[in-house]
Chains A and B, each alone.
Chain A
């Protein structure tokens, strides 16, 4: 094996130094955490609070920030009656209650501030960084938006087609007319049969009575 000027064996795989990535990453993580703790303690000291005496917290990777998929329900409690408890628990207080953090804030803007805030997101194990996207994502999104638009246009076209509306109306009227005609025909047949066989029906009774009294039937003559 060849040796270098210092008597060490030459590394044949390359001239670059080999870094122990794992060890340095750990070192960096620890340093970051130390800094963060120091910053937090500094901030607490400025506010006049005790410094936080915490042990080393596991530095797990946080998820990326997510946008909300559905609207925030700010008006859900409008018109409802709530019993306000005398306790100091946050959940019993009037206002907007955040279940995740067990915090109640007094107005909608503060509530939005809270759920957009770092502390709330930290409880949800999210960092304050959003995903970085590429052109491919943008193009795919454009395509899906186009698709959505096309489908919506199709739907509205179905809803507001004038000719379609007219056709439907005509169809409905025709059906109604046919039904009425059919009913009249059946009635006429029944009448003819009734005259022929003299079947005792309540209608026939009523007719007899009516004729005795001098009128054809009760109710309207309109069929």
Chain B
């Protein structure tokens, strides 16, 4: 097996007495989409937050491209190449769509401690932003204020921001959350294209999307991973079914 891009070892996190991450081992390989599924409150977002650096784990180790990033801050991990999207839309509402994405591109284009030249006239940044927007399919809305976008468009912007920062892996926290069926399907198509470039750790409730996108699926219950495997394996795994796949009577039926 190839060297893992991202590797979590024995990750542990508790809020008081509530264990939200329980000795999680997980890895992500180049070109792979690894989906994380589980019931609400299983600790999926908390796990992503620890990987992106928004939360610090109590114990365990996070390695990215072979380097230990556990002690690094959020922005340091982003610089290292961990891009992410948020479950609850997190954009810059007072900026235009273009400026949202250009700011993400700016991070990779030399120092941002520049005080005189107008940033919105920097062709290279705008072009990089347009490329990212085009890839997501949001280019026609480049001039709109981000706060005025429709919900679905905001979710797309979220993704455009993430890829404009030239990440080497993507952490996607429910990119389809709250989307309609058609929007959701078209976003899945986009993600399928992106998958070739960016390994993804994906949290998603939309099972159809998960089974289209994921190469491997891990099931998280009460902070612990109860099953990992290919989508088909997980579908067949009785523990995973009991825990998540909507088969509440799995035990009774068995």
A binds B: no
